[in-house]
Amino acid sequence: MTELSKVLRETSPGALSFWCPGCRDSNTIRHGSGPGPRWGWNGNTEHPTFTPSVLARTGHYVPGHENGSCWCTYYQEHPDEPRDFACGICHTFVTDGHIQYLSDCTHELAGQTVPMVAFPEDW
Ligand SMILES: [Zn+2]
Ligand SMILES: [Zn+2]
């Protein structure tokens, strides 16, 4: 793992991670050449721009997910567990060091644009 800047890390060759304050988790895109979808990156580590948009789905929002086993059902069965995870959609444009959350996000930052933030200390 290489810390490229406060807001950007290279978690493996070609894999760039940034902290998503909406998901409270890291989002990762891949750039350069190689298998799988690849994003454009402007090469700026402080104020990155990625193209096209970044779409992350978790839990029952993942296409092909089998109903009946996701965070929703887990917390239904374990109501006393702290809710650190949630099923969701996170759809963002990262432009010039800002994260624009599209309206299809399931978290509270949907429709907002926020500056990229540093990774938490313990990440
Ligand atoms: Zn997110
Ligand atoms: Zn769910």
Residues in the chain: 123
Q: How many CB atoms lie within 10 A of CB 48?
A: 23
Kindly state whether residue 72 falls inside one of the protein's structural domains.
no
Kindly state whether residue 69 falls inside one of the protein's structural domains.
no
Kindly report the pTM of this predicted structure: 0.88
Which residue range(s) make up the domain with 11? Answer: 2-57+90-115
Kindly state whether residue 85 falls inside one of the protein's structural domains.
no
SS (H, E, C) 83-120: CCCCCEEEEEEEECCEEEECCCCCCCCCCCEEECECCC
Residue 107's nearest CA partner among 119, 120, 91 is 91
Kindly state whether residue 106 falls inside one of the protein's structural domains.
yes
Per-residue pLDDT of the chain (123 residues; tens, 9 = 90+): 999 999 999 999 999 999 999 999 999 999 999 888 999 999 999 999 999 999 999 999 999 998 779 999 999 999 999 988 889 999 999 999 999 999 999 999 999 999 999 999 888
Q: Report whether 58 contacts 87 (CB < 8 A).
A: yes
Q: Give the Å distance between the CA of 59 and the centre of ligand 1.
A: 13
Q: Report whether 51 contacts 94 (CB < 8 A).
A: no
Looking at all shown ligands, the one closest to residue 85's CA atom is 2
Kindly state whether residue 68 falls inside one of the protein's structural domains.
no
Number of compact structural domains in the chain: 1
Q: Give the Å distance between the CA of 72 and the centre of ligand 1.
A: 18
Q: Give the Å distance between the CA of 80 and the centre of ligand 2.
A: 17
Q: Give the Å distance between the CA of 33 and the centre of ligand 1.
A: 24
**What's the Cα-to-Cα distance from 33 to each of 15, 24, 69, 77, 96, rounded to whole Å?**
11, 29, 35, 43, 22
